[in-house]
Copies of this chain bind each other. A is one copy, B any other.
């Protein structure tokens, strides 16, 4: 069982920030990454539609005989995690809970900001997760729909991104947050821009890093770490790979190879 791969899925390239951290932290693990690029994005779609897509993506990975599922997409994690756990008899890790736990550990003034897609913010999943851990923490959230296209355009540090971030973050800063959860797997690419706008007084919580640590902990707890080194990553996408390879390469910081197109619907 421990020799099996870990399945990771996202609507597209965003989850590659989580994958990158997993490769760094868990170099011995085999990974199977699925990007649902024919139906990307999930962040503007309804919970019911995202749930359907997430169940189809997970079913594909389960067919690949993975030992664990990582939902490397905040929108899917926010609406589908419980159903995925009920439907499939293997451990499922989402990105919300790890980010929420870190935010609660880091904040000193108990004023936490959360940014994400329209779908993630509308779900209220981070607010619930953070307040379940510590009801005295106040959560201020803001959807930032332009951050995903800015990151995919390669404009994460462009003046347009800075101007956009100033507008989106102004209400959170007025509320005096000392911690900001990057509640979308695209947002780690915007870290420099966010730091520029927020200054040094606000800690950034990167779900990608936290999720990888959660995966490591679960593997160890269930005696599932792979023993042989090194692990490989296989990539699957639902649209032709051209754009995934181009944009995804920028996300991973190296070129992407061995990408196969599959159909989920």
Contacts and interface: CB of A to CB of B under 8 A. Distances in A.
Contact of A146 (B38, B150, B167, B239): B150
A160 B168 CA distance: 12
A217 interface: no
Interface string A122-166: 000000000000000000000001101110110100111001100
A148 B37 CA distance: 18
A45 B239 contact: yes
Nearest to A146: B149
Contact of A153 (B145, B152, B159, B240): B145
A168 B155 CA distance: 12
A185 B153 CA distance: 20
A159 B162 CA distance: 12
A64 interface: no
Interface string A22-49: 0000000000000001111000111011
Contacts of A159: 163
A265 interface: yes
A40 B46 contact: no
A242 interface: yes
Interface string A223-248: 00000000000000001101100000
Contacts of A149: 145-146, 148-149
A237 to B, nearest CB: 10
16 contacts: A37-B45, A38-B45, A38-B49, A39-B39, A40-B44, A44-B152, A44-B243, A46-B242, A145-B152, A145-B153, A146-B149, A146-B150, A146-B160, A160-B160, A160-B167, A163-B163
Interface of A: 37-40, 44-46, 48-49, 118, 145-146, 148-150, 152-153, 155, 158-160, 163-164, 167, 239-240, 242-243, 265
Given A39-B39, A160-B167, 17 more contacts: A37-B45, A38-B39, A38-B49, A44-B152, A45-B239, A46-B239, A46-B242, A49-B239, A49-B240, A145-B149, A146-B149, A146-B150, A146-B153, A148-B149, A160-B160, A160-B163, A265-B265
